[in-house]
Amino acid sequence: AGVIRCMVLLITLLGTWFIMQTYFHHSWKTISLRSWLGEKLPRHKCGNQKSCPQNYFAFKIISGAANVVGPSICFEDLVLMSSIKNNIGRGLNIALVNGTTGKLLKTDSFDMYSGDIKKLETFLQGIRRGTLVLTASYDDPATKMNDNVRARFMELGSSHVSELGFRDNWVFLGAKGLMNKTPFEKHIKNDKETNKYEGWPELLEMEGCAPRKMD
């Protein structure tokens, strides 16, 4: 009887071992296949969720987070402004792009808390027709903002610049010569009741496809 019990136990152990080996071997193959397929999935420009159709430019604009993490602007898979490129600053960070060729024309940052607003006025006044204007806020975008600057951004297609206030977050893509308001704009108010950070709202992220200007 003892021998029979030992044989039954041995057979049970062998059967369990066989099942475990078969199951885990199959699972390993499945996981490996999924991982392999994941690595082969296409990567879209600027890391966006979707690719853009022909004659559209891919972009992603991310505002700053409080006064700690700087904003970034990506266009056609090229980072135009970021902390790594060391070309951002407190206030408004703006990149100008040729709306037909997609070529970068200029980048600049404007201190909207203690800077000279005339610098931004001159910059906006010099934008040529057909130019895409990509804007990301950082820390404070509006303390120095005046009616003239707000009007300039409204001409570029902004719907929210008129209500932009102290330490709000704002991301915007407009164009000189735009006939209607741009669909590419996000704004979040600085509100101590809803702020993610103590004195600032959460960052904003916006991605999409901007139509190429066809002559």
Q: Which pair of structure tokens corresponds to residue 153? A: 């951004």
Q: 72 — alpha (psi -120 to 50), left (phi > 0) or beta?
A: beta
Give the per-residue pLDDT at 133: 98
pTM exceeding 0.85 = no
Overall average pLDDT of the 66-72 stretch: 93
d(CA 30, CA 12): 27
Residue 43 binned pLDDT confidence (cut-offs 50, 70, 90) = confident
The phi, psi pair for 119, rounded to 5°, reads -60, -45
Q: Is the pLDDT of residue 17 over 90?
A: no
Residue 96 CA from chain centroid, whole number? 17
Q: State the pairing for strand pair 185-188/205-211.
A: unpaired
Q: How buried is 144 (Cβ within 10 angstroms: 0-12 exposed, 13-18 middle, 19+ buried)?
A: buried
Largest CA distance in the chain: 100
Cβ(110)–Cβ(94) under 8 Å?
A: yes
Per-residue confidence (pLDDT) for residue 1, from 0 to 100: 61
Task: Give the pLDDT confidence score for residue 8 in this predicted structure.
Answer: 65
pLDDT at 13 over 70: no
Asked if 137 and 91 touch (Cβ cutoff 8 Å), the reply is: yes
81, 73 Cβ separation under 8 angstroms: yes
Q: CB atoms < 10 A from the CB of 3, how many?
A: 7
Q: What amino acid is encoded at 58 in this protein?
A: A
* Terminal-to-terminal C-alpha distance of the chain: 95
- H or E segment at 120? helix 117-125
